Structure 1
Amino acid sequence: MQMTGVGIGRGSAIGQVVRMPEPLPDPQDSPSSRSAEDEGARAAASLAAVAADIRDRGARAGGSAKNVLEAQAFMAEDPTLSADVTTRLADGKTAERAVFEAFAGFRDMLRSMGGYMGERAADLDDVSQRVVAHLSGVPAPGVPSPEHPFILVARDLAPADTALLDLDKVLALVTSDGGPTSHTAILARDKAIVAIVGVSEASSLSDGDTVIVDAATGAVTVSPTDDEIAAAERAIAERESAIAAPTGPGALADGTPVPLLANLGSAAAAEDAVTKGAEGVGLFRTEFLFLDSNSAPTVEEQQGHYTKLLQAFPGKKVVVRVLDAGADKPLSFLNDSPEENPALGLRGLRALRANEQILRDQLTALANADAATESDLWVMAPMVSTVEEARYFTALAHDLGLRTAGVMVEVPSAALLADRILAESDFASIGTNDLTQYTLAADRLLGSVASFQDPWHPAVLRLVGEVGAAGAALDRPVGICGEAAADPLLAVVLVGLGATTLSMSPAALADVRAELARFTLDQAKQFASLALSANSAVEARAAVTAAIQ
């Protein structure tokens, strides 16, 4: 028996299923036998204990997980939520019920906002469950920890669960929810974990079932035969051998170069990217310098961080995205005014133009760091949707001393006008995550529409092809820096559509490098044509897979 979903990467695993425990039941809505003061003391103690536990998890996990978990800890300490809990306790609620209702109300409000704030809704559910479990004196729902290696099966995974996964025990992840850009999928790519998401039948799997998880085909084989197990073992060995082979520049089988770059969120991750074979940086996110601050960092503060990054890649290309924030990622000094639909509001370059000094300071700091180092610095603006915006950013970057300035193509209008936008810019980089959500009108952070968030969709690929064709005609580089570049097979298709570089999580570099080396440019173009001829993302992936087999 086989189940199918969206595979993350090209890995395979064989093992026994261990299911994630189901969420705790909702606390009963019955009057408390304690005083409101006693219940308040219980709630305060549990909220503080959970916040401390989440912070400890973050400190042990480190990296980007630490930032995610720190944000969750702040949720448990949020004074607005505490005030809501106190109000409900005054009405005679138990601490368990008051916490549940307060978090649920806040969660629903965030979910209605969509975008970055919508993503926080799922995190609130996780914090709420942990507080209720602490109040009830039962273990918090989380990743089980048997003594043997296992295949973890869950509806989805919360940040606090994924941060401390024991990668010596967890052979693979299978989730019933989520899409290729879900939190679980991003974690799997970042940690090089075998994973298949969106397996709708996963709930029928039982503890102890033996399964083969093949991310390359997106298939979960239940109760496999001896022959199927032997074939999977050979595939696992072959992949391990390929990954262990010496790294080199990314290239197709006919020698066509396809530089493979890294997506980074801080300069501290540069060493790991170089070790994994990154030929440079295709997306350096600068938001970490601005978040959790009441004022923008100074030119000098920014310059220090950028210099450290550039020094790690002497002579190599480093593409830095200027601050991508706004109403979907509120910053008090940029724009924290509430908006009905932040994903369509004042974000990216729009927010920076409304606060131009922040943009000027950032570009100045980048120019200073560039002058002090030997890397090849490129800068790009997020959320460009018009020719005029491209002209504005490129001219400003050049005026402030930066040689190479480009734009991100994340909005369909930018893809459709790529020939005109690239005439005003030095390069384009396609952010497939946002391009997919705007093309299919499906918020990439909402699980309810995760099935639409698939960059294999022919509509998305057609837009990528428009940008690729414009880049070729104008001799402008066209990179891919969204999650799509980390899908090895889709990476081949993207090159066939005109992408000249691919940027991804460092953990995905080996698989993508090996996949590119299997095919020529003509074959990549043939696969791209097949995908464009399909009517859906599922059909596109299946058509290319069938052609290869």
Structure 2
Amino acid sequence: MPASPSGRWSSSARRPPTPSDEAPTTDAAAASQQVRDTLKAVADGLTAKAAKADAHAKPILEAGAMMAGDPGLAGAIDTQLQSGKGITNAVSAAVDEYCAMFESLGGYMAERVTDLRDVRDRTVARLLGQPEPGVPSLTEPSVLAAVDLAPAETATLSVETCLGIITSAGGPTSHTAILAAQLGIPAIVQAVGILDVPFGTTVALDGGVGEIVIDPSGDEQQSLLDRKARREKALAAGSGKGMTKDGHPVQLLANIGTAADARKAAAQDVEGVGLFRSEFLFLDRDTAPTVDEQTATYTEVLKAFGDRKVVVRTLDAGADKPLAFADLGHEENPALGRRGIRLGAVRTDLLDDQLQALANAYQATNANLWVMAPMIATRQEAAWFAELVRAKGLPKVGVMIEVPAAALRSFDVLSEVDFASLGTNDLGQYTMAADRMQGELSELLNPWQPALLDIIAYACDGGAKTGHPVGVCGEAGGDPVLALVLAGLGVNSLSMAPSKVRAVRTALALHDYAQCQQMAAAARASVGPKEAREVVLSMADPVLADLL
């Protein structure tokens, strides 16, 4: 999505440096109290912002406040203070240790590193008597530059004043990048050297292709404006159900994480929910949510969508998303450990409570509810989960395919359930053995990797043979060019940030199903992700270039 070419450059405030000559701590108890008071002030500030924020930003700001109030973090700072470190260096060292731990855990916990660093920077600034760092007040439409943005900062932005975001760090599947997409703000990450561009420079960016133009000429600005007008015209023509030009159906669904997300998405032109990330109910708690608490949330989500399809993923936590009330102990390689359904097999009480809550919500609404399990690897796991779900009287049971083994044996797995959904983010990192949070490996994590497309094709083949639908709920589904390939591979539904639905709907409507199949074959035959995308674009309707 191109940003306005007239955007002025504005940089996010830099991290306050910790003094290299800071005096060592001699009174650890007094310093500890000062740190706790400061952390509380940071938490109170985020809570105050949350109280004034819209429904989308509110839970993100509240999560930052909870992190600032985490007693474990305060305890880690105490340890540093007791070793003699100066107060700001103690905060920094403790947070660095937490960040290293979260990054080693991977997944959702690794994505929270940016939030941790945001809490650190706000705390250090207050301890130094400086204003908290963060996004400046944008008084005119601007493009925002930063090393990275915490979700708490991103959530407060609006498309009226923030025309785009460019960061020198981060990854394309980071929570901040996904949040920017949900807000409809173009974002480019891993733009090395971008912070060297002087403040006030006029820039243009194209979030679809990751292109940045510094000091665009008048002709370049006009070209981008013309393209933006063509894009808006093309998008205005599309509405309703997703389908190819010749009527082959491809459901277009929304990814959500909270009841607030559900209310917002339900008001838009989507066919339902392809992924409700239920773990947000469980995070940052000392005890598991009760059946009644879960029932209330699920009922609210189901009511928001009426008779439209809602796919709920059961708790995806464990080794890479540790919960205080479900700690299974240390693991040498937690990203490949007891997470998702593997945790559910050990803590059957958590899974049983969640399924009971979903059954209660279904009975109260008679909604179009589909329930799926994460991290399924074998037919036996799929059969075990299906038996539990059906015993609760739930109508549709499915699995996430994010482990290559499940894709390669998709006929076996899908023989036990009613549907599957591909989590392309995790499926990509497991296929390529590349951490999705490691920005330096972004090329391996490109969803256009032919090897990943091969894996997806295997999964869809099992769906075709069993007659069971296979969807995509990873961020790959929101790319209007890749959506054509996915449809051609046999994917039946695409779930994405709601802001991306219009472009994907329009792209599908420009091409018939046979063209999508030809594009899929050409992409799989390519030698790399760049070549795969280029060959598909060369085969596509020229209007497609204006949708990116």
The TM-score with structure 2 as length reference comes to 0.91
Paired residues of 2:170 and 2:437 also in contact (CA < 8 A): no
Matched to 1:23, the amino acid is R
The yes-or-no answer on 1:193 pairing with 2:193 is no
Kept in 1, the 8 Å contact 2:259–2:300? The answer is yes
Letter in 2 for 1:50: V
Relative distance call for 1:60 and 1:437 in structure 2 (3 A) is farther
The alpha carbon displacement at 1:80 in A equals 3.9
**1:350–1:457: structure 2 CA closer, same or farther, 3 Å change rule?**
same
- Does 1:526 find its partner at 2:515? no
Distance 2:18 2:290 in 1: 47
Deviates more, 1:484-493 or 1:353-362: 353-362
In structure 2, the partner of 1:385 is 377
Distance 2:83 2:464 in 1: 67
Note closer, same or farther for the CA distance 1:515–1:357 as it changes in structure 2 (3 Å cut): same
Q: For residues 147-201 of structure 1, what are the alpha-carbon distances to aligned partners after superposition, in whole Å with 9 as ceiling and x for unaligned?
A: 2211112222122321212432111112232332122320121101122223334
Find the counterpart in structure 2 of residue 341 from structure 1: 333
What CA distance in whole angstroms lies between the structure 2 residues aligned with 1:219 and 1:520?
29
2:38 is paired with a residue whose SS is: helix
Residues 179, 454 of structure 1: 8 Å contact kept: no
Give the match for residue 7 of structure 1. none
Q: Secondary structure of 1:452's partner?
A: coil
Match of 1:210 among 189, 192, 202: 202
1:92-140 deviations in whole A, cap 9, x for unaligned? 5432222222322333333333333333333222221111111222233
Map of 1:150-161 to 2, 5 A cutoff?
Answer: 150-161=142-153
Which residue number corresponds to residue 322 of structure 1?
A: 314
| Residues 296, 417 of structure 1: alpha-carbon distance in 2 compared, 3 angstrom cutoff | same
CA contact (8 A) 1:57 1:160 kept: no
Q: Which residue of 2 aligns with 1:229?
A: 221
Mapping 1:112-127, distance limit 5 Å: 112-127=104-119
State the one-letter code of the partner of 1:45.
D
The Cα shift of 1:40 comes to 4.5
Equivalent in the alignment of 1:256: 248
1:183 aligns with 2:175: yes
Work out the CA distance in 1 between the residues paired with 2:174 and 2:84.
39
Q: C-alpha distance in 1, partners of 2:83/2:463?
A: 64
Decide whether aligned partners of structure 1 residues 440 and 266 sit closer, same or farther in structure 2, where only a CA change above 3 A counts.
same
> Residue type of the partner of 1:285?
R
* Counterpart residue number, 1:423: 415
Distance of 2:488 and 2:408 partners within structure 1: 18
Q: Is the 2:386–2:417 Cα contact (8 Å) retained in structure 1?
A: yes
1:163 to 133, 152, 155: 155
Deviation at 1:344, TM superposition (A): 0.9
Q: 1:22 to 1:298 in 2, by over 3 A?
A: closer
CA distance in structure 1 between the partners assigned to 2:186 and 2:50 by the alignment: 23
**TM superposition shift of 1:204:** 4.1
Asked if residue 488 in structure 1 is aligned to residue 480 in structure 2, the reply is yes
Which one of 13, 22, 26 corresponds to residue 4 of structure 2? 13
The one of 44, 47, 53 aligned to 1:55: 47
How many aligned positions are there?
Answer: 540
**Structure 1 residue 85 displacement after superposition:** 3.5
2:132 matched residue in structure 1: 140
Distance 1:367 1:457 in 2: 39
Q: How do residues 4-43 of structure 1 correspond to structure 2 at under 5 angstroms?
A: 10-14=1-5, 15-31=7-23, 39-43=31-35
Shift of residue 54, structure 1, vs aligned partner = 2.2
Query: Partner of 1:286 in structure 2?
Result: 278
Report the AA paired with residue 256 of structure 1.
Answer: H
Equivalent residue for 1:411? 403
Alpha-carbon separation, structure 2, partners of 1:68 and 1:282: 21
Structure 1 contact 113–340 (Cα < 8 Å) conserved: no
On the 8 A contact 1:114/1:446 being kept in 2, the answer is: no
Change (3 A) 1:545 1:200: farther
**Partners of 1:88 and 1:477 in 2: how far apart?**
53
Identify the match of residue 123 of structure 2 among 128, 131, 155.
Answer: 131
Query: Which ranges of structure 2 fall in alignment gaps of 5 or more residues?
Result: 543-548
CA gap 1:514/1:38 in 2 versus in 1, 3 angstroms: same
Between stretches 316-325 and 426-435, larger displacement belongs to: 316-325
Distance 1:156 1:149 in 2: 20
**Mapped pair 1:46 → 2:42:** no
Shift of 1:384: 0.2
Q: Secondary structure at the match of 1:13?
A: coil
Q: Cα gap change, 1:59/1:453 in structure 2, threshold over 3 Å: closer, same or farther?
A: farther
1:371 to 1:50, Cα distance in 2 relative to 1, 3 A: closer
Match of 1:5 in 2: none
3-state SS, counterpart of residue 282 of structure 1 = strand
**1:298: Cα distance to partner?**
4.0
| Deviations, residues 51-105 of structure 1 (Å, cap 9, x unaligned) | 2212223333354544443343333333344344445445554322222223223
Relative to structure 1, is the Cα distance of residues 526 and 115 closer, same or farther in structure 2, using a 3 angstrom cutoff?
same
Q: Percent sequence identity over matched residues?
A: 46
Residue 546 of structure 2 corresponds to none
Task: Give the match for residue 4 of structure 1.
Answer: none
Q: Counterpart of 2:385 in 1: which secondary structure?
A: helix
Pairing 1:270-281 to 2, within 5 Å after superposition: 270-281=262-273
Q: Residues 184 and 535 from structure 1, CA distance in 2 versus in 1: closer, same or farther, beyond 3 angstroms?
A: farther
State the SS of the aligned residue for 1:256.
coil
| DSSP 3-state at the match of 2:164 | strand
